[in-house]
Structure 1
Amino acid sequence: MPNYKYETKKVTIFDDIQIAYVDEGAEEAPVIVMVHGLGGYIKNWYPTIDGLSDAYRCIALDLPGYGQSTLRDFEEEDYIDFFARSLDAFVQKQELNNVILMGHSMGGQVSIVTALKKPNWLSQLILAAPAGFETFTAEEAKILEQFSSATALMSHTEDQIRAAYKINFVDMPELAEEMIQDRLKAKEAPWFPEYAKVREMGVKGMLSHPIYNELDQIEVPTYVLFGEKDFLIPNRYLHAGMTTQQVAEMGNKIPNVKIKMIEAAGHMLQMDNPAGFNRAVKQMLTN
């Protein structure tokens, strides 16, 4: 399991699932709850926490099956809904109110599903390169599931792992190497098959739980941010004629939305250009 530079805490939800999280910033400050994407964990938010915890209480969690949270086969049909229910249970267990929910990639889709349930604790939504805006046909989904299977993930070599990380960035930060080392260690761990299954089910969940047609039902102020040089959204193989800007503008379906492209940033925009990302978040929340 990875180690974190911040004090790591745990809380139990659904009686038997432990959620690991970090909680930085003043207790009385506005709360931002941060939700990582597929294959992610708390470390994805280090630059965000470092940049925002002077003005906000930053709570970043590991979803079930990730980081230091409980890892097993959760026997869930829809992992996006499961993650959304887990997120809601976590926030309620912490007795948080007026929460600014920030989700990246798959975590963005989880955050959207959570917002659509209209929890009374949610005040604003920040979507960083969210999954779910871009849609796929049944044939395209089959292709994506094939390349994202647990078997495929478990067969990846170090070169393939490094290439998979590199495509997330315009300029690989030092923290990326630390994340790669965590991933290489995980590959040798006895629990890796269970982790690979969680990853596989996350992809299936994103594809089988479409949210684009429901975006107009989001009732809270929403901010959508994409890296201008996102190489993962849209899918460059299946949707070669589409641009990241076009995907971002699909967010205009949300009634109260602001959209911003972050320059010199790829899919991991909060890590690729943390200064630009943090500045944009502060400006959006202030205005």
Structure 2
Amino acid sequence: MPTKILGLLTLLTMSAPLLAQNQTVADLIAPYPLPVQYATASEDVQVAYIKTGQGETTLIFVHGLGSYVRGWEKTWPAFANSYQCIALDLPGFGRSSKGAYSQSMAFYRDAILAVMDAENIQQAILVGHSMGGQASLYTALENPDRVLALALSAPAGIETFTEQEATALRNAYTPETYGGMVEAQVRYSYGLNFHVWQEDAEPWVADRLAMREADDFQGFATAWVKSVGGMLDSPVYARLGEIMQPVWVAYGAEDQLIPNRYLHTTLTTEGVGGLAKAAMPQAEVQLIPDAGHFVHFEQSEEFNSRLLMFLKTIQ
């Protein structure tokens, strides 16, 4: 074999592992069902989102801790005929940028507003799940002129924690322990989100396992851990009486994550819903049977039907 050809083959063989390592989470997770667009929240923060639908009113879907755009794949299609629908990846997750971010509720508020500004949307209805629900509540409190209404799926921020409880939650994981979870642990953690495991959530598990090989996976793991602190550092419950917009709240009757079963052994999910109603008298609070923490996914038809009824009341 000619020396030049042999040298070229050797170079390609040596460089192949290097090329394989140059992959991000965005490269390794499955494609989204719609083209991905990006909004700039700050110099180094790019917020990924998808957009579809038609209508004068915009729904912005904000996912929860560790999730991404695909967490809403049974929700936004049901509203695209009557509403403009935008689902975003909070920074640190999905296809959004990852870095040394605060992962605070103010940081996530800025990401939501960046998408709205990029699309020239003055006001929107925020549809938030879990941590995304708390981020939506925070946005409504800090920027009420940008929020037309709130629709919340199993929102965090209603259940409160003492300083001692908050410390326990902060210390539960490090980026190394969370990022180092083996497949059985990943599957167990995903299973806690459902009353009955949903086979169509299997692609989420596949994405979560695949992203472990990404160059920026540590950024995702760090974002997850810091987001727990972000929620604890930005309590919203004491201020919920300031929210004047229409509010709809849905919890799954079989939610295993809210309330925290280890710290609040006598509190029930229905009780958390009662706390939401007490803090926001205008809120419509509903408990959906046979659903866990991902109530909008596990009982999507029921959730979508009830959400649509609420949306029809918004002027």
TM range (shorter): over 0.9
Question: In the TM superposition, what is the alpha-carbon distance from 1:175 to its structure 2 partner?
Answer: 2.8
Equivalent position amino acid for 1:47 in 2 = K
Q: Of the candidates 177, 181, 185, which is equivalent to residue 152 of structure 1?
A: 177
Q: Could you state the TM-score of these two structures normalised by the residue count of structure 2?
A: 0.87
1:227-284 residue CA offsets vs partner (Å, 9 max, x unmatched): 1110000011111111000001111111421111111110011111100110010011
Task: Tell me how far 1:172 sits from its aligned partner.
Answer: 2.2
Answer yes or no: is 1:56 the counterpart of 2:117: no
Instruction: State the partner residue of 1:110.
Output: 135
Corresponding residue for residue 64 of structure 2? 37
Q: CA–CA distance in 2 between the matches of 1:98 and 1:212?
A: 23
Aligned to 2:304: 278
Does 1:11 find its partner at 2:11? no
Residue 228 of structure 1 is matched in structure 2 by: 253
> In the TM superposition, what is the alpha-carbon distance from 1:161 to its structure 2 partner?
0.4
1:178 to 203, 206, 209: 203
Structure 2: any 5+ residue segments left out of the alignment? 1-25
With normalisation by structure 1, the TM-score equals 0.95
The counterpart of 1:259, out of the listed 276, 285, 294, is: 285
SS at match of 1:239: coil
| CA distance 1:159–1:184, change in 2 (3 Å) | same
Q: 1:196 aligns with which of 218, 221, 226?
A: 221
SS of equivalent residue, structure 2 residue 187: helix
Letter in 2 for 1:244: T
1:47 match: secondary structure: coil
Between 80-89 and 203-212, the greater mean CA deviation after superposition: 80-89
Distance in 2 between the 1:189 and 1:94 partners?
A: 30
Range with bigger deviation, 275-284 or 94-103: 94-103
In structure 1, distance between residues paired with 2:142 and 2:163: 26
Q: Give the partner amino acid of 2:151.
A: I
Give the aligned CA root-mean-square deviation in angstroms. 1.4
CA distance in 2, matches of 1:149, 1:249: 33
- How many residue pairs get aligned? The number is 284
Opposite residue 15 of structure 1, the aligned amino acid is: E
The letter of the residue matching 2:289 is E
Q: Match of 1:242, SS?
A: coil
Tell me if 1:218 matches 2:243.
Answer: yes
Distance 2:157 2:144 in 1: 20
Classify 1:128/1:235 alpha carbon distance in 2 versus 1 (closer, same or farther; 3 Å): same
Aligned with 1:69 (options 93, 96, 99): 96
1:221 CA displacement: 0.6
Maintained 8 Å contact 2:40/2:114: no
Name the stretch that deviates more: 248-257 or 271-280.
248-257
What residue in structure 1 maps to residue 20 of structure 2?
A: none
Q: CA deviation at 1:120?
A: 2.1
Contact 1:263–1:276 (Cα < 8 Å) also in 2: no
Distance in 1 of aligned mates of 2:177 and 2:219: 13
Give the whole-Å Cα distance in 2 for the aligned partners of 1:179 and 1:188: 15
Give SS of 1:165's match: helix
CA deviations 1:159-200 (Å, max 9, x no partner) are 010000001012222331100000001122221111111111
Q: Which moved more, 1:58-67 or 1:255-264?
A: 255-264
2:75 aligned counterpart, secondary structure: helix
Which amino acid is 1:112 matched to? Answer: L
Runs of 5+ unmatched residues, structure 1:
none
Matches within 5 A, 1:117-128: 117-128=142-153
Deviations 1:198-224 (A, max 9, x none): 111100011121111001011211111
Q: Percent identity?
A: 36
Alignment partner, residue 125 of structure 2: 100
CA distance in 2, matches of 1:232, 1:20: 27
Matched AA of 1:52? F
Structure 2 residue matching 1:114: 3-state secondary structure: helix
Once residues 98 and 261 of structure 1 are traced to their aligned partners in structure 2, the CA distance between those partners, rounded to angstroms, is 28
My pick for the range that moved more, 138-147 or 41-50, is: 138-147
Kept in 2: contact 1:218–1:255 (CA 8 A): no
Larger Cα Rg: Structure 1 or Structure 2?
A: 2
